Amino acid sequence: MNLHLAEIAATVAPGAHAVLLLDQAGWHLSDRVAVPPNITLAPLPPKCPELNAMENVWQFMRDNWLSNRVFQSYDNIVDHCCDAWNKLTDQPWRIMSIGLRNWAYRS
């Protein structure tokens, strides 16, 4: 988590501040997390997948590429997951539509 936050902090424009929404996984809120000064962590309330767009991304991947399969091995699972992720990242418009919340923006 610390390495991830450091990478994000390095991409925040000088003088800007990032707010990261995250679920309440133990590693997100641990006392050992070193939050850079240009980042604020904003934990979502517990048990609210409707507020966590990443939950919808995972559900889309399961529904379309990963469910109802028998995997032959651990490596086969990893290969299928990587393939699904690569398919999705090749479709940025789909990621935006999955994560879109009408109530979160003004038109």
Instruction: Compare 66 and 102 and report the one with higher pLDDT.
Output: 66
- How far, in Å, CA of 85 to CA of 80, rounded? 9
- How far, in Å, CA of 55 to CA of 98, rounded? 10
Give the model confidence (pLDDT) of 51-66 as tens digits: 777 888 988 999 999 9
Question: Residue 106's pLDDT is what?
Answer: 62
Name the residue with tokens 């109530």: 103
The pLDDT-based confidence of 47 (bands split at 50, 70, 90) is confident
List the chain domain ranges. 2-45, 50-104
Please, are residues 61 and 83 in contact by the beta-carbon 8 Å criterion?
Answer: no
List Cα–Cα distances, 25 to 1, 57, 61, 82, 105, in angstroms.
11, 17, 21, 23, 26
The pLDDT-based confidence of 73 (bands split at 50, 70, 90) is very high
Give the model confidence (pLDDT) of 6-16 as tens digits: 999 999 999 99
